[in-house]
Structure 1
Amino acid sequence: MPRTEANGIELEYETFGDPRQPTLLLVAGLGSQLLSWRSGLCAHFAAHGFHVVRYDNRDSGLSTFLDRGPKPDLRAIVRGDPGSAPYLIADLARDAVGLLDALGVDRAHVAGASMGGMIAQQLAIDHPGRLRSLCSIMSRPGDGVSGAGTREAEAQLSTPRPADRAGAIEAGMGVWRVIGSPGYPEDEAGLRAHVAETYDRSHRVDGFGRQLAAILASPDRTAGLRGVTAPTLVLHGMADPLIDRSGGEATARAVPGAELLLLPGMGHDLPEPLWPDIADAVAANAAQAS
């Protein structure tokens, strides 16, 4: 896969479809690699006429890991002292802009899932001229109220990840059993293969805490979202245990004219049976862009 310098770091990325078509930038979530945007879903987007770009955020996958500084103090950040966070969601949004610059893309359709949705929201707030349309998926505006998860789901964020391959794969399976879509349970063998592929590509987990610190230390985006003018789709699973549907509802309320699409049976993932519906919805929202 290609890699490029962006915003002072290096980002690993992959593309699908015709580069002459409008770009759809896919932003991954907390601790997730670009593989979280499954190739089959990317193919659906490409079939809708997008040049699809998926990439690893900093501190994930094969992009730059910022592991030379002190560890963030998550407890202090939660108590209101964000000083130990090495970067914020706004910095991750600048990474996305840097990637677009490196690819020679002036304006792109942007879709982000979970933390990726937060990054996409911030990109729309801070860099409105770089977006054609916005899609925020299973995310929240950071108001500290909406989008709370269940205790069991949130416990997955603080559970240590084993370093060995077998243990890491089992832990990953456990995570998806908790946060996955109850209405669309994934085939056990297929899920295990995906978790194993992710581990084999990059099994580093030390960036997770820094990304989590960025989420916790970043300010509420609600006021900024009120100024977003790009066509906006907010997509959320009605059975999401990690970020409750209220996070999507709050995001949609904040953006003038945003469309809210709630999907029954969908948890905190993008199940394959819903890929055609998701691709159709993203394409319909993008079509509203001038």
Structure 2
Amino acid sequence: MKHLILFAALALSIVSCKKDDTPGNGPETTIDYHQTATTQFVTAGDTKYAYRVLGDKEGIPLVMLSPLGSTMDDWDPAITNGLAQKYKVVIFDNQGVGSSTGKTPATIADMAKGAVTFIKALGYNKVNLMGFSMGGFITQQVALTEPGLLNKIVLTGTGPKGSEGLSNLPNILASAANLSPLDAFLYFGFTASAESKSAGKLSYERRLKRTVNRDAPVSDESGAAQLTAVLAWAQPYPDALKELEAITQPVLHIQGQKDMPVPAVNAINMSQHIPNDRLVLYPDAGHAAFFQYPDQFVQEVSEFLGK
């Protein structure tokens, strides 16, 4: 079980809808905020949260919530840099993750409380919130429990409570237990096509470029708690979609058509219940669809936040 948890942290650190034009390959940025942003700390309660601020723009910041097994350095710089050209982007480690202190909660609800505590500790009373995979689970929970804190929401690679296919995660992990870090990244985040794998390799390389003051890795204890939380989220919950009808903020929802850990049917179901949800399915894309098509993603998110 310990081996499965460790592999989960590695693999997932990557781990009727409106049809858009086929995405492109990668944005050009002018300022490399991802490489140069310093790690800062803010203390709230018993936790010392590690965070970085990318960009110096005014206005409502975009706070990004990481997936299972991920720290600040696991975001693709093409995404963070691209968004930071127009918006203040805040990335951070939740309780017990990476360079943050405290104990990682074993439930999504408690992780959401940690995220809210962090946001308020920075003095923000309104943010745009983006969640990837597990971060998307947390984002949904924040939207339901602290709706006044959120301006707009971006979701990617995620699904509602009781997501179809998510309970199969242990089997998916076990089937790739002997893969290299790169191959695991490609297996979970991308498709089998040559184009998707090529884009995945470029993303993998971008995520390794920061070599100075990198974030601490996710510990065994933290990874175990996160996996427990994700598998609990996967349990059947008949009222999940009905609950999402209470989310009134505008939502931009990006999902890969061939997402394996969280199949695209979950995003489709969510978009039919969240009143202001705009769903875009990226073709020939897996769990990390936005890493595969960073330029399209940055453009769509920038336009969405700017409206």
TM-score (norm 1): 0.78
1:184 and 2:202 matched: no
Q: 1:122-181: per-residue Cα shift (whole Å, max 9, x none)?
A: 111110000001111110101253656677634379x59xxxxxxxxx742232131132
Question: RMSD value over aligned CA atoms?
Answer: 3.0
Amino acid at match of 2:216: S
In the alignment, what sits opposite 1:37? 75
Cα distance change, pair 37–188 in 1 and its aligned pair in 2 (3 A): closer
In the alignment, what sits opposite 1:53? 90
Moved more, 139-148 or 241-250: 139-148
Greater length-normalized contact order (CA 8 Å, ≥ 6 residues apart) = 2
1:283, 1:202 → 2: CA distance?
30
TM-score (norm 2): 0.74
Aligned residue runs from structure 1 range 60-71, under 5 A: 60-66=97-103
Alignment gaps of 5+ in structure 2: 1-38
1:228 and 2:247 matched: yes
Amino acid at match of 1:212: L
Q: Structure 1 vs Structure 2: percent identity of aligned residues?
A: 24
1:94 and 2:113 matched: yes
2:134 to 97, 115, 131: 115
Secondary structure, counterpart of 1:3 in structure 2:
strand
1:284, 1:196 → 2: CA distance?
28
Aligned residues: 259
Amino acid at match of 1:206: E
1:133 to 146, 152, 159: 152
- Post-superposition offset of 1:260: 0.8
Aligned residue runs from structure 1 range 241-256, under 5 A: 241-256=260-275
Q: 1:163-214: per-residue Cα shift (whole Å, max 9, x none)?
A: xxxxxxx74223213113234324758736746969x742433311101212
2:52 to 14, 18, 22: 14
Q: 1:72-93: per-residue Cα shift (whole Å, max 9, x none)?
A: xxxxxxxxxxxxxx54212111
Alignment gaps of 5+ in structure 1: 68-85, 161-169
Amino acid at match of 1:177: L
Cα distance change, pair 88–189 in 1 and its aligned pair in 2 (3 A): closer
2:203, 2:146 → 1: CA distance?
38
Decide whether the 8 Å contact of 1:7 with 1:95 is kept in 2: no
